[in-house]
């Protein structure tokens, strides 16, 4: 598996298995087991997904059934908004570790750029020093917020997980984050199926040329940008298919065609929308 080396030397498998919206405990557990069997060595969850316990059980069983060592699996979780402060972050991370059944996570992210992000970041720096987390980062932060956090703290974020897909390509932001030494990770690479992405003529035509699916074309497009990719499926065949992207390369012409699909805006919501910030602030989940 190809890896991306973070600014602190930690290496991340470039393909990850996302567990967002897999809320049924049995399904979440089994999907993680199947992902590990399929070859995934990077599992992504979050406090707000409300599935950390099931994901943890899936990790334990997946490792036991495959013989994969814990140190060969990269596990990510994220601190939710209600826990984004110095005092609450540490306690919430310990609860996450307990739910996951792990002594440490490989990557801990601030899930949203709201609340006391600077206090929470200092707590995360301490957790990293204590060995509870190997790498720390952010999610959904604009480039200026990421730089601000880096300049006024000891540790530059190792990762920024943001929405990237053919309709929201974020080319300039990817370049700017890399310039700051911050690795880029893509959530919703398939735009959750919006705008008929799996039937898109441009992506279908490119896929047909290589005998690949639209999903594989999108994953390959991101891999070639050195962007960490999170894909989600509860179907073992699709899991395997989403990993089968290392036997072809896109041409410049292919990439130029994909560039024409960019509309330059989120396919979900704006993180600058005041109403969305208020909604997240009110979403107390007890995690």
Q: What positions carry a catalytic annotation?
A: 49
Residue 214 near residue 257, CB atoms below 8 Å:
no
Q: Which residues pair with 133 in a beta bridge?
A: 105
The Cα 80–Cα 238 span in angstroms is 29
Secondary structure (H, E, C), 85-128: CHHHHHHHHHHHHHHHCCCCEEEEEECCCCCCHHHHHHHHHHHH
Question: Minimal CA–CA distance to 78: which of 106, 54, 56?
Answer: 106
Tracing tokens 């040329």 back to the chain, one arrives at 209
The Cα-based distances of 268 to 96, 167, 200, 277 in angstroms read 27, 11, 19, 14
Tracing tokens 């300039």 back to the chain, one arrives at 172
The two three-digit tokens of residue 136, written as one number: 């720390």
């Amino acid at each position: 598996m190809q890896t991306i080396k973070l600014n602190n030397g930690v290496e991340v498998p470039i393909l990850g298995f996302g567990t967002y919206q897999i809320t049924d405990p049995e399904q979440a557990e089994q999907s993680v087991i199947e992902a590990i069997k399929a070859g995934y060595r990077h599992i992504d969850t979050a406090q707000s997904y409300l599935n950390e316990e099931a994901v943890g059980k899936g990790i334990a069983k997946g490792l036991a059934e495959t013989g994969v060592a814990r140190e060969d699996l990269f596990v990510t979780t994220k601190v939710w908004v209600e826990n984004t402060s110095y005092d609450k972050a540490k306690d919430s991370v310990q609860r996450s570790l307990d739910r996951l059944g792990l002594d440490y996570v490989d990557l801990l992210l601030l899930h949203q750029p709201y609340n006391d992000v600077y206090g929470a970041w200092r707590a995360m720096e301490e957790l990293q020093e204590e060995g509870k987390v190997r790498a720390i980062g952010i999610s959904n932060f604009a480039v200026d917020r990421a730089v601000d956090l880096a300049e006024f703290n000891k540790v530059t974020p190792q990762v920024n997980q943001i929405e990237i897909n053919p309709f929201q390509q974020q080319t300039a932001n990817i370049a700017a984050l890399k310039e700051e030494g911050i690795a880029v990770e893509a959530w919703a690479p398939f735009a959750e199926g919006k705008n008929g992405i799996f039937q898109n003529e441009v992506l279908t035509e490119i896929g047909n040329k290589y005998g690949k699916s639209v999903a594989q074309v999108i994953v390959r497009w991101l891999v070639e940008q050195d962007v960490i990719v999170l894909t989600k499926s509860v179907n073992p065949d699709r899991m395997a298919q989403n990993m089968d992207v290392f036997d072809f390369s896109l041409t410049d012409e292919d990439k130029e065609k994909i560039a024409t699909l960019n509309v330059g805006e989120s396919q979900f919501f704006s993180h600058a929308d005041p109403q969305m910030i208020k909604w997240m602030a009110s979403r107390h989940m007890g995690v």
